[in-house]
Amino acid sequence: MDRHQKAALEKLAGKGIRFNYPMHQRTTYQVGGPVEVLWEARDLLTLKEVIRYLSGESIPYHVLGKGSNLLVTDDGIDGVMILLKGSLATINKGPEDSLIWAGGGLHLTDLMKWCRQKGMSGLEFMAGIPGTVGGAVVMNAGAFGHAIGEKVRNIQCVVPGGKEVLVNRSDLKFSYRRLHVQKNSAIINACLELSRSTPDKVSLKMGDFLKTRKETQPLDAPSAGSVFKNPPGDHAGRLIEKAGLKGRKIGDAMVSEKHANYILNKGNATAKDILSLMELVRFEVKRTSGIDLEPEIKIVGKKA
């Protein structure tokens, strides 16, 4: 971006804009170089205007959730990283008792707390997953054999060009860890279909899932969760363990000894360390099992 574009963007976006923002402060891996612009969008009208401007100027942009499924390269990111805040991160009741509208910027921890307090069931398996509603929907996040896409009735999004679009369930196509949607669509709302229960029952279910998560996943070091998608009929973690890679390190990046599909930042890992270890894992799994592992985490930035 040139200085004229940055000045125009600052005038259009108003408050909440920062330049050369260090992305290691916004990702759970705690690695990554700076993004040219980080902007906190707090209302729909301004979001549409900014996306319209960015599209017209061919300035690249990404919508950032909690940075929990993201690896930013060491050289950083060109363009704009957008955070959804304010009125884009709220919960509202839907037209039916079982439906809620969850804002794209709403943290999953806040959604879980609301479901627990209101006794609304259906998303207990999401307990403990970091991220935002928008990020979870785009990635079709899930655990324990379930995914959030099962509960999505429709979504509202802002597509490149700044147009607001409502996508109904019949037009939504979810697959494993993916929603097939126009690239760089900003999900501003998801209509979720839940069921009435009681706070105690919902809390108990969430507690069971959290207990299992703590027992099976390494939560004591920075990571981005599962690094690779599970291939059909198998588990990436099993294949990585079979290849003898538990505990393997490159720099301060290490394959977890607790769950082999986690690569941890054991101190001062760089994105290059993590990417190099990912390449090693893919090579060894291909050599030992004949399977090509596909990354589940999103890799963005220069030289990515």
Positions marked active-site:
177, 226, 296
Radius of gyration of the chain (CA): 20
User: How far apart (Å, rounded) are the C-alpha atoms in residues 108 and 92?
Assistant: 15
**Exposure letters 197-230 (e unless 16+ CB within 10 A, then b):** beeeebbebbeebeeebeeebeeebebbbbbbbb
CA distances from residue 296 to 13, 84, 212, 231, 282 in whole angstroms, order as listed: 32, 23, 21, 11, 13
Q: Tokens 């300035």 belong to which residue?
A: 59
User: How far apart (Å, rounded) are the C-alpha atoms in residues 216 and 201?
Assistant: 23
Q: Which two tokens mark 239?
A: 């294949």
Specify whether the CB–CB gap between 39 and 13 falls below 8 A.
yes
User: How far apart (Å, rounded) are the C-alpha atoms in residues 205 and 186?
Assistant: 31
Specify the amino acid at residue 162.
G
